[in-house]
Amino acid sequence: MPAQLVVGLGNPGPAYRETRHNVGQAVVDRLAARLEARFVSRGPDRVAATRWADQACYLAKPDGFMNAMGPAVARLLGDLGLEPAGLVVVHDDLDLPFGRVRVRHRGRSGGHKGVASLIAALGTDRFRRVKVGIGRPERKDQVVDWVLTPFTPAERGELPGVVERAADAVLELLGARPDP
């Protein structure tokens, strides 16, 4: 069975590390810890090679901004010799309440600009996603600020459990890979 790639979406640099938009990268970091995998530089990206369910898999944090993540992920897939069917993307979702985790096997972007960039760059929506709910601000004009701010203290208390559930969902997907 071919290897699989798990990508945590987010923005680069320490200024964004603790923001809602970077929860996908937090999940990939947790997976690396659980699977005892170490990130190394692979071009501009951080990639960890590991195994799960008796197959090779890669964990990646592409170096790029969320809304233009598609080309970086397409490049990683190409470099690793993988198809989009072997991809699992972990990302934040405004339309889910904080803490909810949802798995999708395909579909439109749902307004998520990072996912829209992936669909455009890959030419398909046939890749798996683990969506992590970050809730929605009160007003629509607050969305940009909302995704780029840290979680509240109460949310930070719950976040480790949310990240664990999302990591469990990724591992379940990796162990039950659908046919392309």
Domains and CATH numbers, the chain: 4-175 (3.40.50.1470)
Confidence of residue 1 (pLDDT cuts 50, 70, 90): low
Please check the confidence at residue 125 and state whether its pLDDT lies above 70: yes
Helix (H, G, I), strand (E, B) or coil at 60: strand
pLDDT of residue 2: 81
44 vs 35: CA distance, rounded Å:
23
pLDDT of residue 23: 97
Number of Cβ atoms within 10 Å of the Cβ of 107: 12
Could you say which DSSP state residue 97 is in?
-
Indicate if 105 belongs to the active site: no
Q: Which residue has the tokens 């972007």?
A: 109
Q: pLDDT tens-digit profile of 27-52?
A: 999 999 999 999 999 888 999 999 99
Contact in structure between 133 and 98 (CB atoms under 8 Å) = yes
Task: Report, as an integer, the average pLDDT of 151-176.
Answer: 94
In a 10 Å sphere around its CB, with 0-12 CB exposed, 13-18 middle and 19+ buried, how is residue 22 labelled?
A: buried
Point out the catalytic residue in the list 21, 91, 105, 112.
21
When comparing pLDDT for 159 and 110, which is higher?
159
- pTM equals 0.94
